[in-house]
């Protein structure tokens, strides 16, 4: 079918509307544990301490990740204040820029229609949109890996490009790869390098080796990526072994991080993450194998296919898996599906819409049978019921978009059909994210902290006994003293053992000698301490936690 194009003005209007929706709700939800609160707290402590070299979580050395997102979030806190939206600003910004960059790259290398298709697909993919609304490190890594790929493609495959511009694009690829390393570690260099190596061997494009700007590029890479690694290693000699060996090789090759999942783990994650576009995935991947408009476009599609395949296989082979690890494949896959949609028949698209409409109705039926009825805690049951209401609305919006899209395709009008489908999918995903606040505010300590914070002084001892809730120090704006609990902070506590209390007996002695301490714990720990006749006065209590002070 003919590929309808979007004018530059229409694209600008759509980007503006997307930005309003993308950034407009960042402050609606409470930060949740563990990732969101963890990375917000590390950034907060950087601002408070003024130490931007050694990351600390709850005052304890935390070397698991590089600092780029900590720095950006700390700058947001410093300039705009301590809020949920400033904690999420960097991930939202990099996610949005990823959509813009994909549109720009596809427009330069293919057509305006492919560019519009790709941007709409990426923005409405549930995993990509969801991660852009959460304070985790994966979106920053995804963006800079995508930027590495896009800048390389723009440098190597744009016809009749001025040599100076070609060099600049290639140097931008090196700079982006350095920022990817500063976002989440060596994976930001290994995966793009692996894709490039496979492409060179597969295409026998040996001449490319002379066009990679090795001298200036590697120098630029080191100037960006190396200074922090050198500085943190000088200040903390233990850093290098923990970060490079434990956090990279042991994470990939062993089960030390207790995140082992079977090899097929990412298949359902991927299916959910691409849900509205799942029916087009195989056709999109096929675009990486079939000829495109010219030889250059065919090679670009081959590289996109290599990118998706290598990254998916790499993380599937790892012994440490989290759902967000495969996020970097989504921009490349969106472009491949965008290519397919310019060639798809109206009949095939109508069938897809009809099938999804039936499946969405089935999801509503399934949703009515699940929820929070399996819990005895009324507040949790009500929260699950409330969230289910949000999901109902989201599905109804998506079904409405599917029906409208089907109607437009009958005319046939591809552009309004695609807009109806992608906009309804985007709104449905966004509502599902926002509705999670019904569950998030219960698991967070925001309400608790609002009541306790006015009672604290800067030097008030605040203990966290046999547990650590990552949201607590952020919302209290006060670090806590861990008691009989280490978890992910074990390595940092090995370096600075004075920052915790290893046993309950030692805590009781310390508690008895304090004048006005507070302690946070789970209800079962409170009962345990009560049986030991520890003097305590409850100042806050709910079904998940108890806060006490000394009477």
Question: How far is it, in rounded angstroms, from Cα 439 to Cα 380?
Answer: 8
Among residues 266, 286, 262, which one has the least CA distance to residue 348?
A: 286
pLDDT value for 258: 56
Is omega for the bond preceding 412 within 30 degrees of 0, making it cis? yes
**In terms of DSSP bridges, do strands 462-465 and 481-483 run parallel, antiparallel, or are they unpaired?**
parallel
**Six-digit token string for 92:** 């939202």
Question: How far is it, in rounded angstroms, from Cα 513 to Cα 492?
Answer: 26
The one-character DSSP state at 343 is T
pLDDT value for 254: 63
CA atoms within 13 Å, Cβ hemisphere of 256:
12
Regions in the chain scoring below 70 on pLDDT? 1-6, 251-259, 370-376
**Six-digit token string for 470:** 């990552």
The 10s digit of each residue's pLDDT in 474-493 is 999 999 999 999 989 999 99
What are the extents of the domains in the chain? 89-208+265-343, 345-438, 447-549
> 410: burial class by Cβ within 10 Å (0-12, 13-18, 19+)?
exposed
User: Three-state SS for 17?
Assistant: helix
pLDDT value for 412: 85
Could you count the other beta carbons within 10 Å of the beta carbon of residue 389? Answer: 12
pLDDT value for 6: 65
- What are the beta bridge partners of residue 174? none
pLDDT value for 372: 55
How far from the centroid of its chain's Cα atoms is residue 2's Cα? 36
Tokens 């600049």 locate to 168
CA atoms within 13 Å, Cβ hemisphere of 200:
14
Is omega for the bond preceding 122 within 30 degrees of 0, making it cis? no
**In terms of DSSP bridges, do strands 60-61 and 56-57 run parallel, antiparallel, or are they unpaired?**
antiparallel
Question: How far is it, in rounded angstroms, from Cα 420 to Cα 366?
Answer: 25
Rg, Å, the chain Cα set: 25
Could you count the other beta carbons within 10 Å of the beta carbon of residue 5? Answer: 17
pLDDT value for 261: 82
How far from the centroid of its chain's Cα atoms is residue 465's Cα? 30
Question: How far is it, in rounded angstroms, from Cα 373 to Cα 388?
Answer: 12
User: CB–CB of 296/286 below 8 Å?
Assistant: no
pLDDT value for 1: 44
Among residues 244, 137, 130, 136, which one has the least CA distance to residue 180?
A: 137
């Amino acid at each position: 079918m003919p590929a309808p194009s979007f004018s530059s003005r229409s694209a600008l209007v759509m980007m503006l509307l997307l930005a309003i929706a993308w950034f407009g709700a960042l402050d609606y939800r409470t930060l949740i544990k563990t990732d969101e609160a963890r990375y917000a707290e590390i950034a907060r402590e950087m601002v408070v301490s003024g130490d931007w070299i050694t990351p600390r979580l709850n005052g304890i050395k935390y070397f698991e990740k590089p600092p780029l997102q900590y720095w950006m979030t700390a700058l947001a806190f410093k300039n705009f204040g301590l809020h949920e939206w400033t904690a999420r600003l960097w991930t939202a910004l990099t996610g949005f820029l990823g959509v813009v960059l994909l549109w720009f790259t596809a427009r330069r290398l293919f057509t305006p229609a492919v560019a519009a298709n790709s941007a709409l697909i990426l923005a409405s993919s549930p995993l990509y949109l969801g991660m852009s609304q959460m304070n985790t490190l994966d979106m920053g890594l995804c963006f800079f890996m995508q930027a590495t790929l896009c800048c390389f493609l723009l440098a190597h495959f744009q016809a009749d490009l001025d040599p100076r511009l070609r060099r600049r694009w290639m140097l931008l690829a090196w700079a982006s790869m350095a920022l990817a390393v500063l976002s989440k570690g060596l994976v930001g260099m290994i995966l793009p390098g692996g894709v490039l190596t496979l492409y060179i061997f597969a295409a026998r494009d040996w001449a490319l080796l002379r066009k990679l700007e090795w001298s200036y590029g590697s120098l630029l890479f080191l100037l960006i990526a190396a200074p922090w690694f050198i500085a943190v290693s000088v200040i903390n000699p233990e850093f290098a072994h923990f970060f490079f060996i434990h956090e990279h090789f042991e994470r990939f090759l062993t089960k030390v991080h207790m995140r082992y999942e079977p090899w097929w783990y990412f298949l359902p994650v991927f299916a959910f993450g691409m849900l509205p576009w799942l029916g087009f995935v195989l056709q999109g991947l096929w675009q990486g194998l079939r000829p495109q408009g010219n030889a250059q476009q065919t090679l670009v599609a081959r590289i996109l296919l290599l990118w998706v395949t290598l990254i998916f296989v790499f993380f599937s082979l790892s012994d440490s898996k989290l759902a967000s690890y495969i996020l970097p494949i989504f921009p490349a896959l969106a472009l491949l599906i965008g290519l397919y949609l310019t060639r798809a028949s109206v009949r095939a698209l109508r069938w897809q819409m009809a099938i999804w409409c039936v499946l969405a109705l089935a999801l509503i039926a399934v949703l009515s049978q699940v929820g929070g009825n399996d819990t005895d805690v009324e507040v949790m049951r009500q929260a699950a019921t409330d969230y289910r209401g949000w999901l109902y609305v989201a599905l109804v919006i998506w079904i409405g978009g599917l029906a409208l899209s089907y109607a437009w395709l009958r005319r046939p009008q591809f552009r309004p059909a695609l807009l109806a489908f992608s906009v309804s999918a985007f709104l449905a995903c966004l509502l599902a994210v926002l509705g999670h606040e019904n569950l998030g505010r219960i698991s967070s300590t925001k309400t608790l902290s609002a009541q306790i914070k006015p009672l604290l002084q800067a030097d008030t001892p605040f203990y966290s006994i046999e547990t650590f809730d990552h949201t607590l120090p952020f919302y209290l704006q006060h670090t806590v003293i861990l008691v009989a609990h280490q978890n992910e902070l074990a390595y940092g506590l090995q370096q600075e053992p004075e920052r915790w209390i290893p046993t309950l007996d030692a805590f009781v002695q310390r508690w008895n000698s304090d004048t006005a301490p507070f302690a946070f714990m789970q209800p079962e720990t409170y009962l345990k301490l009560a049986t030991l006749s520890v003097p305590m006065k409850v100042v806050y209590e709910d079904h998940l936690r108890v806060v006490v002070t000394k009477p």
